[in-house]
Every structure is written in C-alpha cells, then in structure tokens.
Amino acid sequence: MPTAPSASEPIVVVAAALYDDAGRLLAARRSAPPELAGRWELPGGKVEPGEVPEHALVRELREELGVTSDPVDRVPGEWPLKPGYVLRVWRTRLLSGVPAPLQDHDELRWLTPDEIWSVDWLDQDVPAVKETLARRTP
C-alpha cells in the first residue's frame, strides 16, 4: 500500500517547457480529471517511486504526446500543487515525433511569446510558466 507523502518528501510532478524551432512554447489542455478539464498546463506527470525525475519526464512525454525528448536543464524553483505535491519544470528539447494529445489532454497549442497568456493556465502552472519565460534563451 502506498504511503502518504511526508512534508519533507513531496511527490514530484515534472513538466516540460518544450519549445519549437520558432521559439513557441507547447501548452496542453487537460481533458481529465473533471476539475482540471479545459485548463492548460505544461505537459508532464508524476515521478514514480524510484524513478529519476528526468527519466519520468521523458516517459510522460512519450506516453502523453508520443514524442521522444531530452530534458536539457531544470528551471530553478518548484511550485506547490495539491498538498504533498510539487511541480518542477525542465527546458526540454524535442528529439523526434510530432506532439499529439494521446493521454489526459484534448488539445495542444504552440504559443508565441505574445500568445502565452491567451490560454487559461491552471493556477498552479502560472508561476512556473512565468519563471520558464524569464529564463527562456533566445
């Protein structure tokens, strides 16, 4: 039976700041669970017990988007999600495949810097997106 996360060891949720060659950021619209459906997030998911966060991110992007990716570097900081969970973000490079909404999402959008705030981001993702944009390389 899984144990509850302790205050000192939160469950890590990893997300990708995935940019294309034109400098657009990939956003994914949630289709589940119902309380999150219709809101946008950086794609990713939970790190499984014993899994390295970067490996979890590669796995999640393969499962959710059907792509092969490479986490380049971690965006400094972590952001609280629901109690016992934190979000960590990596700038990520697309190695192969075309992202498609395979799991937990019903739409993907590549957003230019001017379009970033045109979608309804999950409240928890807003500070992570802001930090990602602040650290984006030209």
DSSP states of the chain as a string?
-PPPPBTTBPEEEEEEEEB-TTSPEEEEEE--STTTTT-EE-SEEEPPTT--HHHHHHHHHHHHH--EEEEEEEEEEEEE-STTEEEEEEEEEEEES-----SSEEEEEEE-GGGGGGS-B-GGGHHHHHHHHHT---
Q: What is the pLDDT, as a whole number, of residue 137? A: 58
What mean pLDDT value characterizes the chain? 91
Q: What is the pLDDT, as a whole number, of residue 4? A: 52
Q: What is the pLDDT, as a whole number, of residue 138? A: 45
Q: How far apart are CA 77 and CA 74, in angstroms?
A: 9
pTM higher than the cut 0.85: yes
Q: What is the pLDDT, as a whole number, of residue 9? A: 86
The superfamily CATH assigns to domain 11-133 is Nucleoside Triphosphate Pyrophosphohydrolase (3.90.79.10)
Between residues 30 and 8, the one the model is more confident about: 30
pLDDT at 37 over 90: yes
Q: How far apart are CA 19 and CA 24, in angstroms?
A: 5
